[in-house]
């Protein structure tokens, strides 16, 4: 089995590294298409995969074709490659805001998987939510699961709406976490820690807290209460967060990202229509 990547940016490169490291594909069975010859040569030398500047050549090469181009150029790429897609090929999209219907209509192809990965996939700690059309066979779903698991964790959903919701939660989620980390580090610097020491304290506290929450089996409210003594420092800090609308602002931000996801999806539908 061979796999091709159309658009070999950061996320696709992370996927390529992961599937090679996991032994799912060998470099000789992987091809990536690039816009620039220089970048193609750099990746070829680094990962020893096949490279090309021709999207049609990439489609002809793979039994599985991963679409990872920018959503705004998907329509032109689809027009370029649709006549070369074979009925037996599996198309995997990791593009944001392009739904299954738009993929099928523009590619003239039914066997489609839509994924929403996130950036921690670059260190094999990602979370990917995905769905597949009814034409995708169980054996092919197993291969997709292997590919996605090589980048971290995966969650299969029957209803595509959950992929849209995941875009706002897990897909965009790292940005929320990074902003939280940045704010907490800045608070540490304000207290008098060096930035390096503040970063170590914040990063390790966050990592430990997440692992504790995952392994304890307790609700996060219960874990929070374990740290909060009546009249203590934690209670005072949490009071300020609640007074500042921490929960409300975060929930509004996630819902706003979800609405934007739906809006962009409709725009892409109209473009492809």
Phi, psi of 209, deg, nearest 5: -65, -40
Phi, psi of 189, deg, nearest 5: -65, -40
Q: What single-letter DSSP state applies at residue 113? A: E
Q: Establish whether 165 is an annotated binding residue.
A: no
Q: What single-letter DSSP state applies at residue 198? A: H
In which region does residue 224 sit, left (phi positive, over 0), alpha (psi from -120 to 50) or beta (all else)? alpha
Q: Establish whether 10 is an annotated binding residue.
A: yes
Q: Establish whether 8 is an annotated binding residue.
A: yes
Q: Establish whether 79 is an annotated binding residue.
A: no
> Helices (DSSP H) in the chain: which residue ranges?
10-21, 37-47, 55-61, 74-81, 100-107, 138-149, 161-166, 173-191, 195-216, 220-227, 233-243, 246-272
- Cα three-residue angle 170-176-179, rounded to 5 degrees: 155
Measure the CA–CA gap between 198 and 259, rounded to whole angstroms: 35
Q: Establish whether 98 is an annotated binding residue.
A: no
- 152's CB contacts (< 8 A; 6+ apart) are 120, 121, 124, 125, 126, 127, 128
> Strands 64-67, 90-93: parallel, antiparallel or unpaired by DSSP?
parallel
Contact (Cβ atoms closer than 8 angstroms) between residue 162 and residue 193: no
Q: Establish whether 159 is an annotated binding residue.
A: no
Q: Establish whether 7 is an annotated binding residue.
A: yes
Q: Establish whether 155 is an annotated binding residue.
A: no
Dihedral angle sign, alpha carbons of residues 109, 111, 116, 117? negative
The annotation places the binding site for NADPH at 55
The annotation places the binding site at 6-11, 33, 55
The annotation places the binding site for NADP(+) at 6-11, 33
């Amino acid at each position: 089995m061979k796999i091709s990547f159309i658009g070999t940016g950061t996320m696709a490169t992370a996927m390529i590294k992961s599937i090679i490291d996991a032994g799912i594909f060998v470099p000789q069975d992987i091809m990536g298409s690039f816009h620039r010859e220089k970048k193609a040569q750099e990746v070829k030398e680094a990962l020893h995969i096949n490279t090309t500047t021709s999207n049609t050549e990439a489609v002809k090469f793979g039994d599985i074709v991963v679409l990872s181009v920018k959503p705004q150029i998907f329509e032109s790429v689809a027009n370029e490659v649709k006549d070369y897609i074979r009925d037996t090929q599996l198309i995997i999209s990791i593009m944001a805001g392009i739904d299954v219907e738009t993929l099928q209509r523009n590619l003239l192809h039914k066997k489609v998987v839509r994924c929403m990965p996130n950036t921690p996939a670059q260190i094999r700690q990602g979370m990917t939510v995905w769905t597949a059309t009814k034409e995708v066979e169980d054996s092919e779903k197993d291969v997709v699961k292997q590919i996605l698991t090589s980048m971290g964790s995966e969650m299969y959903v029957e209803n595509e709406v959950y992929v849209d919701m995941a875009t706002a939660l897990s897909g965009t989620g790292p940005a929320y976490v990074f902003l939280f980390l940045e704010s907490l580090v800045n608070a540490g610097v304000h207290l008098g820690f060096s930035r390096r020491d503040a970063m170590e304290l914040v990063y390790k506290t966050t990592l430990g807290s997440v692992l504790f929450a995952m392994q304890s089996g307790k609700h996060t409210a219960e874990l929070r209460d374990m740290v909060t003594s009546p009249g203590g420092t934690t209670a005072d800090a949490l009071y300020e967060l609640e007074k500042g609308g921490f929960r409300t602002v975060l929930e509004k931000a996630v819902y706003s990202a979800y609405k934007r996801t739906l809006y962009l999806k409709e725009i892409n539908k109209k473009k492809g229509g």
